[in-house]
A and B are shown apart, each in its own frame.
Chain A
């Protein structure tokens, strides 16, 4: 007698239903989509060239010509914020991808092989984690010289230990499962086991952590730029825009407030998407955030 088949559950559809069930997550997705569009189409959207200086337009109040005013060199604040999305997304997404990829490989190696490999890697991780990420990024960025490359290396390095720990912890629990033992007993190589059996089980927490860390990466980059050790003017980086505006706080507070709000909005959006992903990927936590 044939059993009546249950209707198949579409996992992907369920994932999206849970992910987008909260308003703030939809808001987060919308903000990131808009930021991405702004980054890609900056030259088309921005009303002015973000680097064009104008002596007649120095420190303008918000007006019809400059919706968010202009800075001490007469550059349009709105245009600089729009172009700033490029650096923000590049650093936010780029550093997290670099740190997560390296962290995954190192974490897999540490967790899978164990023994002295594990000890050396984890002690190094403990050492890096004893220094606040911002401080560590500050030292590396200052030594590498200011610029996108230096900042990206610095922020990636500061984020790296978090991923090593996460993946290593996952591997340690996953590798005890029977299917891993079964794979090993039929002669699957170490790399094969890691790639085919262990890594897929680490992906959910990794994706959540990556989304959450994008906000942190953006905050670290902005802090470095604010301190003068990140991306330097004339590049349109939101952190250095806040710093530039800080000097004219009495006269034109909008110069600091506007880029700061932009940073907050994007970081908030990434965090909300991270919360939503955690809800969607880990049913036990659903509704607690």
Chain B
């Protein structure tokens, strides 16, 4: 097990390195000049060509690409993700302020997805063909198709603008004002959790139905065991395995979804940071955020894989 974890950690480092190189090259090789953006956005309209060259030199952008990359990578390894080209703030510090917000909202959505999704899936599969099953299936299918930004807009219209129950946008730390935090977080968490709940419900329903067709379940019925015992002891243990593997994908989706949700609800998290960074082509910010996102995704996948092996002893770590 320890060898497996060490090997997976080395693999995780390799994946993060690949992501860093990929993003670095994308930002440099594709069209779009952040320096030009910087020059035209500020009070530097009259900057001469020489001054632009000087600025590039100061930012180290006149050096060969690979040297720029290794320089940036070395700094990143020491915990320095550089400074925002446009606003000159420290990228890691800014991420440090925003990451907890994204993780707070995403974490709740993930927990809700892990609990409610499988529960709905099991209920739906057990009551297959009944009205409850049809209801869950329809809701789950709608949940995976609804565009998050649109669901957010509808919620804002109904609960904030029409009923006046919840604030339209913003974020307050739970440590600062818990009541306000709850009011502001309900809608974003609902939107972020919609896809994980729907997707986990569909997957669970499908795998429970498949498990219920197995011979050992028929044997359990024949033995005269109660439905509760069969479902909990025999069906769930086997049916939830594929759902655990789905969690990695769901987590990735939640982080991706935060980009849209934080923009809709005006939440100052990582998603909003990357959209603002992209709109202003502030590539040090975008690079920093993507590397942090990749580290988060890769590490959580590692945890999920280890958990999967722990839950299912049939899996051998080679």
In the bound assembly, the distance between CA atoms of A140 and B281 in angstroms comes to 11
- Within 8 Å by CB of A132, from B23, B161, B256, B279, lies B256
In the complex with contacts A260-B153, A264-B146, A127-B19 CB distance below 8 A? yes
Closest to B144 in A: A271
- Within 8 Å by CB of A271, from B15, B23, B145, B207, lies B145
Residues of A with C-beta under 8 A to B269: none
Binary per-residue interface labels of chain B (196-238) against chain A in the complex, 1 for a CB within 8 Å, 0 otherwise: 0000001001110110000000000000000000000000000
- Within 8 Å by CB of B252, from A127, A132, A289, lies A132
Identify whether the interface residues of B are mostly helix, strand, loop, or mixed: helix
Closest to A130 in B: B294
- Within 8 Å by CB of A139, from B14, B142, B161, B286, lies B286
- Within 8 Å by CB of A250, from B141, B161, B263, lies B161
B260 touches A145 (CB 8 A): no
Task: Give the most central of A134, A253, A287: most B CB within 10 Å.
Answer: A134
Q: Does B126 make an interface contact (CB < 8 A)? A: no
Residues of A with C-beta under 8 A to B26: 139-140, 143
**B211: min CB distance to chain A, Å:** 10
Q: Does B27 make an interface contact (CB < 8 A)? A: yes
Range class of the B interface residue count: 35 or more
Q: Does A2 make an interface contact (CB < 8 A)? A: no
Give the residues from 238 to 261 in chain A that come closer than 8 angstroms, CB to CB, to chain B: 239, 242-243, 245-246, 249-250, 253, 256-257, 260
Task: Give the most central of A127, A132, A215, A263: most B CB within 10 Å.
Answer: A132
Q: Does B298 make an interface contact (CB < 8 A)? A: yes
**A282: min CB distance to chain B, Å:** 12
**Count of chain A residues with Cβ under 8 Å from any Cβ of B?**
49
Q: Does A268 make an interface contact (CB < 8 A)? A: yes
A123 touches B142 (CB 8 A): no
B22 touches A127 (CB 8 A): yes
**A117: min CB distance to chain B, Å:** 16
B19 touches A130 (CB 8 A): yes
In the bound assembly, the distance between CA atoms of A221 and B31 in angstroms comes to 20
Q: Does A34 make an interface contact (CB < 8 A)? A: no
In the complex with contacts A285-B206, A288-B210, A123-B15 CB distance below 8 A? yes
B141 touches A130 (CB 8 A): no
Q: Does B70 make an interface contact (CB < 8 A)? A: no
B142 touches A130 (CB 8 A): no
Q: Does B170 make an interface contact (CB < 8 A)? A: no
Residues of B with C-beta under 8 A to A257: 154
Q: Does B240 make an interface contact (CB < 8 A)? A: no
Residues of B with C-beta under 8 A to A272: 141
A289 touches B206 (CB 8 A): yes
Residues of B with C-beta under 8 A to A140: 26, 30
B202 touches A223 (CB 8 A): no
Q: Does A69 make an interface contact (CB < 8 A)? A: no
Binary per-residue interface labels of chain B (16-55) against chain A in the complex, 1 for a CB within 8 Å, 0 otherwise: 1011001100110011100000000000000000000000
In the bound assembly, the distance between CA atoms of A288 and B239 in angstroms comes to 12
In the bound assembly, the distance between CA atoms of A142 and B30 in angstroms comes to 10
In the complex with contacts A135-B255, A143-B31, A226-B149 CB distance below 8 A? yes
Task: Give the most central of A24, A139, A228: most B CB within 10 Å.
Answer: A139
B256 touches A130 (CB 8 A): no
Q: Does A222 make an interface contact (CB < 8 A)? A: yes
A242 touches B150 (CB 8 A): yes
Closest to B211 in A: A288
**A59: min CB distance to chain B, Å:** 16
Residues of B with C-beta under 8 A to A228: 279
In the bound assembly, the distance between CA atoms of A23 and B167 in angstroms comes to 41
Residues of A with C-beta under 8 A to B136: none
In the bound assembly, the distance between CA atoms of A229 and B263 in angstroms comes to 13
In the bound assembly, the distance between CA atoms of A289 and B207 in angstroms comes to 9
Residues of A with C-beta under 8 A to B119: none
Residues of A with C-beta under 8 A to B294: 127, 130-131
B259 touches A138 (CB 8 A): yes
Residues of B with C-beta under 8 A to A142: 32, 278-279, 281
In the complex with contacts A134-B260, A139-B286, A239-B147, A260-B154 CB distance below 8 A? yes
In the bound assembly, the distance between CA atoms of A129 and B148 in angstroms comes to 21
Residues of A with C-beta under 8 A to B149: 222-223, 226-227, 239, 242-243
Residues of A with C-beta under 8 A to B210: 285, 288
**B21: min CB distance to chain A, Å:** 8
- Within 8 Å by CB of A138, from B18, B27, B274, lies B274
**A157: min CB distance to chain B, Å:** 9
Binary per-residue interface labels of chain A (134-151) against chain B in the complex, 1 for a CB within 8 Å, 0 otherwise: 110011101111000000
B157 touches A253 (CB 8 A): yes
A264 touches B150 (CB 8 A): yes
Q: Does B293 make an interface contact (CB < 8 A)? A: yes
In the bound assembly, the distance between CA atoms of A226 and B261 in angstroms comes to 11
Residues of B with C-beta under 8 A to A126: 11, 15, 18
**A167: min CB distance to chain B, Å:** 18
B286 touches A267 (CB 8 A): no
Q: Does B191 make an interface contact (CB < 8 A)? A: no
Residues of A with C-beta under 8 A to B154: 256-257, 260
Q: Give chain B's interface residues, CB within 8 Å of chain A.
A: 11, 14-16, 18-19, 22-23, 26-27, 30-32, 141-142, 144-150, 153-154, 156-157, 161, 202, 205-207, 209-210, 252-253, 255-257, 259-260, 263-264, 274-275, 278-279, 281, 286, 290, 293-294, 297-298
Name 10 A/B residue pairs within 8 A (Cβ), A-sorted: A127-B19, A130-B294, A131-B19, A131-B293, A131-B294, A132-B259, A219-B145, A227-B263, A256-B153, A288-B205
